[in-house]
Amino acid sequence: DTGVSQDPRHKITKRGQNVTFRCDPISEHNRLYWYRQTLGQGPEFLTYFQNEAQLEKSRLLSDRFSAERPKGSFSTLEIQRTEQGDSAMYLCASSFGLAGGETQYFGPGTRLTVL
């Protein structure tokens, strides 16, 4: 299967701990997005990379959140000093962006529970 993969699928942590999630996009895709989804709501945009450059960050992405995409391949999203309000599904999507249309393909998500 060559779709978007995310690891881990589930993470339970205690308040104040740091967590890191990984996203492996579809191999030829140059764009990578992170979204967050809470129960009963649609996904909300967090940040976006084109190749290795982080081009957009939502105001939802506080200073405790950091994302990287070294070498324009996989990406990591780190949350420092987790809070209970960080509990959510974290979704990664990738696309091959070019003029003429873009479709984002989503991974299965990482469900974070902060106790």
Partner 1 sequence: LAKTTQPISMDSYEGQEVNITCSHNNIATNDYITWYQQFPSQGPRFIIQGYKTKVTNEVASLFIPADRKSSTLSLPRVSLSDTAVYYCLVGDFNNNAGNMLTFGGGTRLMVKP
Q: What is the SS3 string spanning the chain?
A: CCCCEEECCEEEECCCCCEEEEEECCCCCCEEEEEEECCCCCCEEEEEEECCEEEEECCCCCCCEEEECHHHCCEEEEECCCCHHHCEEEEEEEECCCCCCCCCEECCCEEEEEC
Q: Does 21 bind partner 1 (CB under 8 A)?
A: no
Q: Does 29 bind partner 1 (CB under 8 A)?
A: no
- With contacts defined by CB under 8 A, how many residues of the chain interact with partner 1? 34
If the CB atoms of residues 18 and 62 are measured against partner 1, the closer one turns out to be 62
Considering only residues 49-78, where is the footprint of partner 1 by CB under 8 A? 50, 55-56, 58
Which positions lie near partner 1, rule CB under 8 A?
4, 31, 33, 35, 40-45, 48, 50, 55-56, 58, 89, 91-93, 95, 97-109, 111
